[in-house]
Structures are given as structure tokens and as C-alpha cells.
Amino acid sequence: MSQPVKSALLPIVLIAPYAITLFLAIVGGFVALVGAIGRVEDLLRIGGAVSAFGALAFFILLLSPWANLAGLLIRGSSDDGRRERGK
């Protein structure tokens, strides 16, 4: 794979897990809200469970070493190797 393609795909691949888990948390919250307003207990429980899973997964990813690695890789890919050349 060429360097421009790698540098374009790397941030997307590294941020995708955060976006997916945050999306689950938000959508689960809305589903739980609709279940509570409509008095549909099954919808309330499913929405609450999805929301809790999404929020928990988001903060686990955020506090894991993966977050530090993602930050280093994104910053490292944006300097185009200037650090190695000593410039």
C-alpha cells in the first residue's frame, strides 16, 4: 500500500472503535428514553443495556493503552518522518 493511502486510512481505523462505541451509547440512551416514554419495558431494558455497554466500552478504550498507541501513531504519521531525519 502506498504511503498516502496509509496515512489517510490510519486515523480512520484508529478512531472507528471510539465512534462505534459512542454511537451505541447514544442510540441506546434514545431507545431507553422511547421505551420509558412509551411504557414499553422490554425496549427500556434493551436500550439501557446497549447504552451501558456502549459507554463502558468507550471508556475502557479511552483508558486503555490503545488510546496512547492511537495518539502516537496519528502524530507519528503526520510528521512524515521528519523526526528520523533530524529536521
How distant, in Å, are the alpha carbons of 7, 41, 42, 44 from that of 37?
46, 10, 12, 9
Q: Whose grid coordinates read 533530524?
A: 86
Does the pLDDT at position 83 exceed 60? Answer: no
Predicted pLDDT of residue 9? 80
Does the pLDDT at position 20 exceed 80? Answer: yes
pLDDT per position as a tens digit, 30-71? 999 999 999 999 999 999 999 999 999 999 988 887 777 766
Domain boundaries, the chain: 17-76
Q: pTM (2 decimals)?
A: 0.70
